[in-house]
Chains A and B, each alone.
Chain A
Amino acid sequence: MANLKDIRDQIKSVKSIQKVTKAMKMVAAAKMRRAQDNMEKARPYASKLFEIINNLKSDIISLDLPLTEIREVKKIAFVVITSDKGLAGSFNSSVLKKAQQEIDALENIDVDVFCIGKKSSDFFKARNYNVILNESEFWNHLDFSTASTISKFITDHFLNKKVDQIRVIFNEFVNVATQKVIVKTLLPLEFKEDPELLQNTDLLYEPSKEEIVDHLAPKHVKVQVWRFLLESFASEQAARMVAMENATSNSEEMIKDLTLKFNKARQAAITTEMLEIVGGAEALKG
């Protein structure tokens, strides 16, 4: 039978761990709400930009923008978005696993990696990949300028013909319980004409359609990168929240088991003691 003191100590340590997981869950929940809020705020901008692009699509297609140029794929860059910190369930490992699968599936193609988040850069550095960019420790003050900087790096890399295609791997926020790993081709940009969305074609464009289109394409990339970052951040917090929730209820279970064990041990000790007393009394009587 385990020592009573040992069990009591064990219960105490589980309880203090539970306090930590509870606190982490609460923090993650608050951060997730903030991230969802940001996603909500980003939506009007993205949809309006999309509308303008749609109205100009035929011009975009006929203009042959450098960002839409389709080249024979000899080299690919992956943008892998993870968090800086762990303790978020399978959030990071599922992205990294997917990235590894994607890279392994390529034959005779060189790979560059843009690492967004510390976990991603640790992973790819350890495996000696050609890492172009390490961007981490920005998640707590994530703003649009971060997305601008990252997307500038990515587009420049593509425009300088260092790579022929750029793919992004990130966690999409489906709901609190579900995050989905998505692989998306970011560059070259693909524009398909969608006549249903076409409206207001007799607008006046200033200075010229060309000039507007020229600025639109990089903006479009920026907004997409911004969305990826927001999605990933919301997913990270949701994953951490669920993981910590599970940890809290697991420790609850453990405390219950340990308390039962403690009570049994205590009862056993009392019974033994009583038997001894009774035995002693009987002996005296005899």
Chain B
Amino acid sequence: MALFDIEFITPTRSFDILDVEYAKCPGLDGSFGVMANHTDSVISLAAGEIKVLNNSKESYFSTSGGYAEISSNRLLLLVDSVESQEEIDEKRARDAVTRAKERLSSSNVDIDIPRAEHSLARALSRLSVSKR
């Protein structure tokens, strides 16, 4: 089976995953899958989970959004943050969900709705990844 490489790049760290069979990413318009020899493209990513299949093993990552660039059989994920299953602090994520929900349901006009929605999405994706 044809394989490809993934490179995660965030402002605070970068790492590679080599010889990947399949990856699923949260696009802005819904999830999309990537396999080897995908068309070269740039795709906006929403907050959500990234699934990676290599050596017939699945691993999951949570991201807060960014871009995916696919070129010359390499998937480059330029994201604000990425956390693997082990790195996620479940309690913190749950607290963040509660906080964001409170903020969204309050009647205070000063609340930055898009921002609260974004932090809710981020926290939910963390939770879903950690429960895998």
A41 touches B13 (CB 8 A): yes
Task: Give B51 Cβ to nearest chain A Cβ, in Å.
Answer: 19
Distance (whole angstroms) from the CB of A224 to the closest CB of chain B: 11
Chain B: CB-nearest residue to A204 = B41
Cβ–Cβ contact A203 & B12, under 8 A: no
Q: How many residues of A contact B (CB 8 A)?
A: 28
Interface string of B67-94 (1 = CB under 8 A from A): 1010100001010110000000000000
Q: Which of A86-94, A205-213, A238-246 contacts B (4 or more CB under 8 A)?
A: A205-213
B71 CB → nearest A CB, Å = 6
A44 touches B44 (CB 8 A): no
- Verify B44–A215 contact, CB threshold 8 A: yes
- On whether the beta carbons of B12 and A207 are closer than 8 Å, the reply is no
Given A48-B78, A52-B78, CB of A207 within 8 Å of CB of B14: no
Residues of chain B contacted by A215 (CB below 8 angstroms)? 44
A204 contacts B39, C-beta separation under 8 Å: yes
Asked if B42 is an interface residue, CB under 8 A from chain A, the answer is yes
Do residues A49 and B71 form an inter-chain contact, with CB atoms below 8 A? Answer: no
Q: Which residues of B are found within 8 Å of A147, using beta-carbon distances?
A: 11
List which A35-59 residues lie within 8 A (CB) of chain B: 38, 41-42, 44-46, 48-49, 52, 55
Q: Are B12 and A52 in contact (CB under 8 A)?
A: no
Q: A41-B13, A206-B29, A223-B11 known; A49 and B78 CB under 8 Å?
A: yes
Closest B residue to A51 by beta carbon equals B69
CA distance A206 to B46 in the complex (A): 12
Tally of contact residues, B, Cβ under 8 A? 25
Q: Give the complex CA separation of A147 and B81 in angstroms.
A: 13
A196 interfacial contact with B, CB 8 Å? no
Contact of B40 among A148, A152, A202 (CB under 8 A): A202
The answer to whether the Cβ of A143 comes within 8 Å of any Cβ in the partner chain is: yes
Q: Does B43 lie at the interface of the complex (its beta carbon under 8 Å from any beta carbon of A)?
A: yes
In this assembly, does B96 line the interface, its C-beta being within 8 Å of a C-beta of chain A?
Answer: no
| Pairwise interchain contact B67-A42, C-beta atoms closer than 8 A | no
Q: Which residue of chain B has the shortest Cβ distance to A199 in the bound complex?
A: B71
- Select from chain B the residue with minimum beta-carbon distance to A148: B80
Nearest CB of A to B25, in Å: 11
Encode contact with B along A118-158: 1 for CB under 8 Å, 0 otherwise: 00000000000000000000000001100110001000000
Taking a contact as CB atoms closer than 8 A, the residue among A42, A44, A46, A203 that contacts B71 in the complex is A203
Q: For window 187-221 of chain A, which residues contact chain B by CB distance below 8 Å?
A: 200, 202-207, 211-212, 215, 219
Q: Assess A144 versus B12: contact at CB under 8 Å? Given A52-B42, A200-B40, A204-B41.
A: yes
Residues of A within 8 A of B32 (CB): 206
Is the beta-carbon distance between B14 and A45 smaller than 8 angstroms? yes
Q: Which chain B residues border A52 with CB–CB below 8 Å?
A: 42, 67, 69, 78
Question: Is the pair B9, A211 in contact by a Cβ cutoff of 8 Å?
Answer: no
Across the interface, A205 reaches (CB within 8 A) one of B10, B14, B41, namely: B41
Q: Do A206 and B44 contact each other (CB < 8 Å), given the known contacts A52-B69, A52-B78? A: yes
Least CB separation from B43: chain A residue: A206
Query: What are the interface flags for B1-39 relative to A under an 8 Å C-beta threshold, 1 for contact and 0 otherwise?
Result: 000000001111110000000000001110010000001
Contact residues of B between 44 and 79, Cβ < 8 Å to A: 44, 66-67, 69, 71, 76, 78
Alpha-carbon distance between A51 and B69 when the two chains are bound, in angstroms:
11
- Excluding A41-B14, A144-B11, A207-B29, 19 further A-B contacts by CB distance (< 8 Å) are A38-B12, A41-B11, A42-B11, A42-B12, A45-B78, A48-B9, A52-B67, A144-B10, A144-B81, A147-B11, A200-B71, A203-B71, A206-B32, A206-B43, A207-B27, A212-B42, A212-B44, A223-B11, A226-B11
Which residues of A come within 8 Å of B, CB atoms? 38, 41-42, 44-46, 48-49, 52, 55, 143-144, 147-148, 152, 200, 202-207, 211-212, 215, 219, 223, 226
Interchain Cβ contacts under 8 Å between A and B, 5 examples: A41-B12, A203-B41, A204-B41, A212-B67, A215-B44
